[in-house]
A and B are shown apart, each in its own frame.
Chain A
Amino acid sequence: MSGKGLVELVSVHKSYGNRPAVTDVNLRIPSGAYCCLLGPSGCGKSTTLRMLAGHEAVTEGDILMDNRNVTLLSPTQRGTAMMFQNYALFPHMNCLDNVAFGLRIGGMKTAERHARARELLALVNMQDYAQSFPDQLSGGQQQRVALARALITEPDVVLLDEPLSALDPFLRIKMRKELKSIQQKLGLTFIHVTHSQEEAFALADLAVVMEGGRIQQIAEPRELFEQPATPFVAQFIGGHNLLTAQPGARQNDQVQLHFDPQGSGWIDSHRLPAGQGELSFSVRCDHIDLQPGQHPAAAGQFAVTASISDIEFQGQFIYVECTTSTGNTLMAYLPDRHFGQLPLHAGDLVTLSWSAQHLNLFQPQHLNSTAQVAQPAMAI
């Protein structure tokens, strides 16, 4: 571990004219971490990356690297290197010269810089292609060369702008393993922009979900999936149902929640967020159990009845879409082996139930920022 590559963004804002692109971003990425900036297109993740790289001016706020304010410094002075979306290899240079470009700029002698470039080509397993030109290489090979080019200036922080999006799905999985292993081998901080939650889950030590130019949640991938902080996050990473509930009767330290009129369940009152009125929560699709017919909620369970509107076979699981009497859609992922024992068909009345501890309540202050997220929950 180099111990370098600590990156901090302090109240960073970016606007183009009057249009804000990134608002109030505060983020601390520890040295040697693999951080994924995750979000839909136009969420500000690429702009944030470009500001880190020094290719986009910061409107307000500061960027710190290893406790050094680098807001106004050039990319080389920052010690960052960027890998571009379509790799941006120089078409008039062979791989060796492409990789050695940063050293040529630094004024290193040809023999010396070529020797160093060969080492890096070997690191990414491209030593046999030193004399090839970019247009003779496949997407994956170009990507390796681009990575070698980014690494040659010995950066502390490597910035990757959707590095895998141009590859086919099979190669994407292979290359993401390589990225991760190179990152671990060199102990560098990698900051990787992606719109694929699958990629972020597989790679990241730290995932940052952005939407509308704001950070929605900063967490490890596992926490992100188990406890999405906002309805947007739950929706974006997929596999979650979003519902709203009204608190009702209290008994001891339990509170009854009503949702979708006839659905209800009890939870510990200390889990309730401060304030009164409507609550919003999510529950994972794979935490929902299905039973044919109408049943009351068992102790410690939430239950609601609905009719099946669609059943899809998805391989590892069966996707069941249900519609409640008020028109809310709930999705459940049933393991194949359970589904085989249940005679379920579209149109059947079923009871959906889940354990109270699987209920993920959103804090009300998080609801405001996602008021614009009005689209229905998407199934993955």
Chain B
Amino acid sequence: MNRGLLSVSHLQALPLSLTLLMFLVFPIAVIIIVSFWDYDSYQLIPGFILDNYQYLLTSSVTWQAYLNTFKYAISTWLITLVLGFSIAYYLAFHIRTTRMQTLLFMLCTIPFFTSNIIRMISWIPLLGRNGMVNSFLLSTGLIEQPLEFLLYSDFSIILAYVHLYTLFMVTPIFNTMMRIDRRLIEAARDAGAAPWQILLMVIVPLCKSGILIGSIFVLTMVMGDFVTVSIMGGGLHASVGLIIKNEISLLQYPAAAASAVVLLITVLIMLMVMFRLVDIRKEL
């Protein structure tokens, strides 16, 4: 009887298990295996060598790339967090009608009607040396030389990330805010809390799960990204994703695989730290 039930539930879990096995476990296993292989200019040579990792971890290029990537990730995270929280707060607590909330929320999603690449490329005529921003500032006489830092710089990379990913912060935070019982805010006010105290002692703690989910979205996406860095950085700026992409285009698959494994481990450690800070199962 018990065995029968067991096999039925196993059967029901089978499709999902197979899907995960094929599309998650298998590719990762392949990457891990290949990361220990040798290669030359023409072929992959099966084996078990640690050279890929050794080279990776001792190269200053890698460390520089990681440093850069962390810089992008943390700046983007901070900016999207502040922006996302403020927008969500405005939508959830200042807009009274549901209709208006839905309308404004839709407005936030408009950038997503076009693809990532188009959204990024559209910054170029705006920020370029002879772009709209520079010509405007020159014509008003505010600057005499075109501003160089606007495009193909850390600034433009982070700007593009913020543009792309703020909504991923807004949505989960807005969701948790909408679930906050408005009477809690009144109760805090009744106890004499000033607006900033209500924000820090009531709203932020109750939005923790939304903040965590948004942070996971933003951090993992920035950590793994290479398109934004290559387009907005003009090929002058390195990130971990970009290194992997370059290695792949040079057919150095084992080196790319080793980089990917290290990146995966890095991101997993970041996630573990975040989950340690917020008990997501309790919050949801």
Interface residue ranges, A against B (CB under 8 Å): 53-55, 74-76, 80-82, 84-86, 88-92, 101-102, 104-106, 149-150, 153
Contacts and interface: CB of A to CB of B under 8 A. Distances in A.
B206 A88 contact: no
Given A104-B201, A105-B197, A90 B184 contact: yes
A81 B184 contact: no
Nearest to B185: A88
A53 B191 CA distance: 11
Contacts of A80: 190
Main secondary structure of the interface of B (DSSP, over half): helix
Interface string B184-220: 1011111111100100011001100000000000000
A203 B154 CA distance: 69
B192 A153 contact: yes
A105 B193 CA distance: 6
Given A88-B181, A88-B183, A88-B184, A82 B205 contact: no
Given A88-B186, A104-B201, A105-B197, A76 B181 contact: no
A106 B197 CA distance: 11
Contacts of A91: 184, 206
24 contacts: A55-B186, A55-B189, A74-B189, A75-B190, A76-B192, A84-B183, A84-B186, A84-B187, A85-B183, A86-B181, A88-B183, A89-B187, A90-B188, A90-B202, A92-B205, A92-B206, A101-B188, A102-B191, A105-B188, A105-B193, A105-B197, A106-B192, A150-B190, A153-B192
Nearest to A85: B183
Given A90-B202, A91-B206, A92-B206, A101 B184 contact: no
Contacts of A55: 186, 189-190
Nearest to A86: B183
A153 B190 CA distance: 10
Interface in B28-67: none
A118 to B, nearest CB: 18
A162 B273 CA distance: 44
Given A86-B183, A88-B183, A88-B184, A81 B202 contact: no
Contacts of B194: 105
B231 to A, nearest CB: 42
Interface in B219-263: none
B183 A81 contact: no
A100 to B, nearest CB: 10
Interface-centre pick from B190, B191, B205 (highest chain A CB count, 10 A): B190
B205 A74 contact: no
Contacts of B183: 84-86, 88
A53 B183 CA distance: 13
Nearest to B183: A88
Interface string B56-90: 00000000000000000000000000000000000
A269 B183 CA distance: 55
Given A86-B181, A90-B202, A101 B191 contact: yes
Contacts of B205: 92
Contacts of A81: 190-191
Interface in B141-199: 181, 183-184, 186-194, 197
Given A74-B189, A84-B187, 4 more contacts: A81-B190, A82-B190, A89-B187, A101-B188
A105 B192 contact: yes
Contact of B191 (A86, A92, A105): A105
Contacts of A105: 188, 191-194, 197, 201
Contacts of A76: 190-192
A13 to B, nearest CB: 22
Nearest to A82: B190
Given A105-B192, A105-B193, A105-B197, A82 B187 contact: yes
Nearest to B208: A92
A65 to B, nearest CB: 15
A140 B275 CA distance: 34
Nearest to B194: A105
A150 B181 CA distance: 18
Q: Enumerate the 7 nearest inter-chain pairs by beta-carbon distance, A residue then B residue, closest first.
A: A76-B192, A102-B191, A88-B183, A88-B187, A92-B205, A75-B190, A82-B190
Nearest to A161: B183
A147 to B, nearest CB: 13
Contacts of B201: 101, 104-105
Contacts of A86: 181, 183
A191 B174 CA distance: 36
Contact of A149 (B186, B189, B191, B197): B191
Contact of B192 (A74, A89, A90, A92): A74
A82 B190 CA distance: 7
A191 to B, nearest CB: 14
A104 B198 CA distance: 12
Nearest to A106: B192
A87 to B, nearest CB: 9
A374 B92 CA distance: 42
Contacts of A149: 187, 191
Nearest to A103: B191
Contacts of B181: 86, 88
Given A86-B181, A88-B183, A105-B197, A75 B192 contact: yes
A85 B188 CA distance: 15
Contacts of A150: 190
Nearest to A97: B201
A4 to B, nearest CB: 18
A77 to B, nearest CB: 9
